[in-house]
Amino acid sequence: MKKTLTLLFSIFMLSFVFAQKDSQRVISTIDSTQSPELVLIQEFTVKAPLDKVWSAYTTKEGWENWAVPLAEVDFKVGGTIKTNYNKDGAIGDNTTITTHIINYVPEKLITLQAEITDNFPDFMKKEAEDFYNVIYFNELEDGNTQVESFGIGYKNTPKYLELINYFIPANEQTLMSLMNYLENE
């Protein structure tokens, strides 16, 4: 029994070490600008060509393979990406997250703005128009793709710092799902 527990503990610790090593593939930093705003920067390199990474961000199939069980994508300037983490829900119900596509440059950049709903904290609702996510895509010479995501609009206050500290590991986990999807396709 003791040997079995020791073996299980060793496997758990080895898994934990590999998970920690993998999670370091996503680098998260908080940049303080000269204004009272903060920018959440998350960057990673994925072992996949640019066109596959772009497709993962811009298509229904892409979103449903790495981020959510339900997605609806109308990818155009003024279009939307609607997602739902609830596999038993539906696009359009009160758990749907609607993200507006502000602009894009094909295979280079996407600017998104989430619709702030009742599910978001009250303090964010007053400043909803300030929040954007700008995502840069860079094709590397080795066939890999570097992605940089800039979460813009956070205020330098304790409530927002708490929110950012919630989003960092949640986003890192989602981005690891993206990398697993693209690299094991």
Pairing mode of beta strands 37-46, 27-32? antiparallel
Within a domain: 69? yes
Q: Which of 159, 147, 142 is nearest to 56 (CA)?
A: 147
Task: Decide if 137 contacts 147 (C-beta within 8 A).
Answer: yes
Within a domain: 125? yes
pLDDT digits (tens, 9 = 90+) for 144-179: 999 999 999 999 889 999 999 999 999 999 999 999
Within a domain: 126? yes
Pairing mode of beta strands 132-139, 109-114? antiparallel
Cα–Cα dist 68/155, whole Å: 28
User: Which pLDDT value is given to residue 118?
Assistant: 81
pLDDT digits (tens, 9 = 90+) for 53-110: 999 999 999 999 999 999 999 999 999 999 999 999 999 999 999 999 999 999 999 9
User: Which pLDDT value is given to residue 117?
Assistant: 81
Question: Residue 46 maps to which CATH number?
Answer: 3.30.530.20
185 has a pLDDT exceeding 60? yes
Within a domain: 102? yes
Within a domain: 7? no
Instruction: Show the domain range for 177.
Output: 25-183
Cα–Cα dist 130/133, whole Å: 10
Structural domains counted in the chain: 1
Within a domain: 120? yes
pLDDT band at 22 (very low <50, low <70, confident <90, very high): low
Within a domain: 15? no
